[in-house]
Amino acid sequence: MKQLFYPFDISLESEMKEPLDFNRRSRTKDVDRVFRAEITNVIRLTEMEKLFQVRIMDDAERQRFTFLPGQFLMLELPGYGEIPISISSAPTNKGFLELCIRRAGTVTGALHKARRGARVGLRGPFGTHFPMEKMKGNNVLLIAGGLGLAPLRAPIFHVIQNRSDYRNVHIFYGTGSPEQLLFDYQYDEWRRIDDIEMEVIVERPDPNWKGPVGLITKLLDHVEINPRETYAIVCGPPIMFKFVCARLSDLGVPMQRMFVSLERRMHCGMGKCCRCNVGSTFTCMDGPVFDYWSVMNLKEAI
């Protein structure tokens, strides 16, 4: 008897055969296929954080990989699990990526034991980004607390590489204590760049500490900027960006020009698992980067 139904083999569809590109969101693709990537260097930053330099192994895939500052990846450790991690490198580096990872549990714990040469999987980039284009011609405040410097590095690198596009640039960074400071070897370099103000503050200084002491908001007391021509990117724990944004708002910066990055549990990065739901949206799709006015309007965002 003639066959009633023919199997529909989705992997034979033309869209499925296109090179894997997560930026082309509407195309049907192997959404759970990972880019194979190799850890090329592990850089110890603090007790808790390491910077992993990884390289997408396939040349063509590495060249094709593009992202915008603020976007994140799903990092896969086969057999252990998959976790969302911000991209902490310059967008121009394409598939040579830097990921700054805090030891926090199963996957990050295993990763902290991984060595140079180990292979991981990457999917992405996912999520929204900081509006670097729109910020052109304006003053830029780049503010981070704690691990927030990880997602802030991509916009910092972008601003540095395109310094002439922006007016005054300030980088403010704060942590609890001096030994928690991330990327301390880079501050000098950033400070030497013409017209980049960088200030670092800690809450609990040690005897060697010479810089300012207090909460990050204190650094905002002395900035001289025209708030109407200023954009701010604020990365850190909710309690931190809440206070910083409130302060900026007092200074007159419109909330639509302050950008923060939200963190939620994530199992897909593609608006499918619903785990990152906040208000009526998904953090992985409409975020993680939101302008602060949207955050104020989202239910239970902070």
Which among another protein, ligand FAD, ligand FES, none contacts residue 228 (Cβ within 5 to 8 A by kind)? Answer: none
Per-residue x/- track, 3-22, another protein (CB under 8 A): xxxxxxxxx----x------
Rounded Cα gap, residues 302 and 295, in angstroms? 8
The only residue of 45, 65, 86, 247 in contact with ligand FAD, by rule CB under 6 A: 86
Instruction: Pick one of 65, 190, 288, 295: the residue that binds ligand FAD (CB under 6 A).
Output: 288
DSSP-derived secondary structure for 40-98: EEEEE-SSSEEEEEEEESSHHHHHH----TT-EEEEEETTTEEEEEE--S-GGGTTEEE
Interacting residue with another protein among 18, 19, 21, 32 (CB under 8 A): 32
Q: In what order do the strands lie in the sheet with 139-145?
A: 196-202, 169-175, 139-145, 230-235, 258-261, 289-291
Closest by CA position to 184, among listed 159, 208, 217? 208
Closest-by-Cβ residue to ligand FAD is 105
Of residues 62 and 264, the one with the C-beta less far from ligand FES? 264
User: Does the footprint of another protein cover residue 242 (CB under 8 A)?
Assistant: no
Q: Which residue of 63, 106, 162, 256 would you call a contact of ligand FAD, by CB under 6 A? A: 106
Residue, CB closest to ligand FES: 284
Q: Which does 37 bind (CB under 5 to 8 A by kind): ligand FES, ligand FAD, another protein, none?
A: none
Which residues, 6 or more positions from 27, have their beta carbon under 8 angstroms from its beta carbon? 15, 18, 21
Residue with Cβ nearer another protein (192 or 299):
299
Counting contacts by CB under 6 A, is residue 25 touching ligand FES?
no
Select the span of 114-122, 159-167, 242-250, 262-270 touching ligand FAD (CB under 6 A): 262-270
Among 34, 97, 101, 240, binds ligand FAD (CB under 6 A): 101
The closest of 222, 202, 216 to 172, measured between CA atoms, is: 216
Strand 49-56 relative to strand 96-102, pairing: antiparallel
Cα gap 195→56, rounded to integer Å: 35
Name the E strands within the chain. 35-44, 49-56, 72-77, 81-86, 96-102, 119-126, 139-145, 169-175, 196-202, 230-235, 258-261, 277-278, 281-282, 289-291
Least distance in angstroms from the C-beta of 169 to ligand FAD: 22
Q: Does 231 bind ligand FAD (CB under 6 A)?
A: no
Binding-site ranges for another protein (CB under 8 A):
1, 3-11, 16, 25-34, 36, 76, 78-82, 104-105, 108, 117-119, 121, 263-265, 267-268, 270-275, 277-281, 285, 299-300
